[in-house]
Amino acid sequence: MTEKITLSWLNEPLAIPNLEMYRLAQARQAQLTKPPGSLGQLEEIAIKLAALQNTSQPCVERVHIAIFAGDHGVAMEGVSAFPQSVTSEMIRNFARGGGAINVLARALGASLEIINLGTVHDTQSLTGVQHYHLGPGTENFTHVPAMTWDQLNRALNVGFEVIERAQQNNKQLFIGGEMGIGNTTSASALACVLLNERPTLLTGSGTGLDSDGIARKINVISEALSLHSPLVDSPLDALRRIGGFEIAALTGAYIRGAQSGFPILIDGFICTVAALTAEHISPGCKNWFFYSHQSAESGHARILNALDAKPLIALNMRLGEGSGAAIAYNLLNLACKLHNEMATFSEAQVSQKNLSSKP
């Protein structure tokens, strides 16, 4: 079927981290004026970034953030505590600079773009928003696939374009965020398919459902899995059937980042599911990812574990928008500065640890 043809760039090879730079960064860390390993995960960050950026002086001062937004047909099943109109209302809020991610981007000096992939309510009149019009949200995946192959390909390609622009503008780190009422339902269902897990283990409160709401959400996901799981023939097909426009765009961005050697800081639950999807589509993508935080959303820890991920912080956040990644970003930036600017033992004329245990 011609409809099933996917984008050729998805088959491009992934970039390979520079192991020589990795070893040189390890050696430098051993010479800095501190006990070996005393900066813990900050040392690991700097060493990994040196390998990813192919440099002895890793740096993430130039950051690009993209927020992908889209509506979900499954929202009509009552799986969110908020009405679907909130998606477009929050896009308007982002365009006016009033969202949490706007505040954080300003504080970090990061560039920020807002991308509407397709919502029920029109946002065309808003300035400062990129409009892609893939449809008025996805279809209700309890009855039919969420997306056509064409919609999936176009959403993936939006992620590709975002990474290409960021690199052309000499950015050093990418943060993706999302907005879409119903998208924790989509993300949970997608993770269930990819990990062969039960909905009860990967489904949480999302925007604030009570226990009855969570039970309804689990039932909706179970219904969708009964319909689609026997038919899924690839991770891409799973993404098409039960994903969302914004999840697909994030997945495309993560794959393109790994192909082009662009480090990525992953946000919370939904972004981590997109990272999991990228890894299933193109194994090895996760070598280019850092994981910002473990969110309060039920199931996030299991998905992080499936990626062998080590989140940087845990602040009980569940906002989305890329907010957790924007907050954790400072740890990456400081890790680089410590690596690059601390004196070595020889430079500071400080005695190193005795290597002999003789009296």
Residues that are catalytic: 321
Sheet holding 129-131, edge to edge: 129-131, 111-118, 63-70, 173-179, 264-266, 289-291
How far is it, in rounded angstroms, from Cα 249 to Cα 69? 9
Strand extents, DSSP E, the chain: 63-70, 111-118, 129-131, 173-179, 264-266, 289-291
What is the sign, positive or negative, of the torsion defined by CA atoms of 290, 329, 115, 146?
Answer: positive
How far is it, in rounded angstroms, from Cα 293 to Cα 291? 6
List the structure tokens of 271: 């972004």
Strand partners, 130: 115
**Residues in contact with 349: Cβ distance below 8 Å, sequence separation at least 6, in sequence order:** none
**Residues in contact with 76: Cβ distance below 8 Å, sequence separation at least 6, in sequence order:** 84, 140
Residue type at 62 in one-letter notation: R
Dihedral (Cα; 119, 122, 124, 130), 10-degree rounding: -10
**Within 13 Å of residue 255, how many CA atoms lie on the same side as its CB?**
30
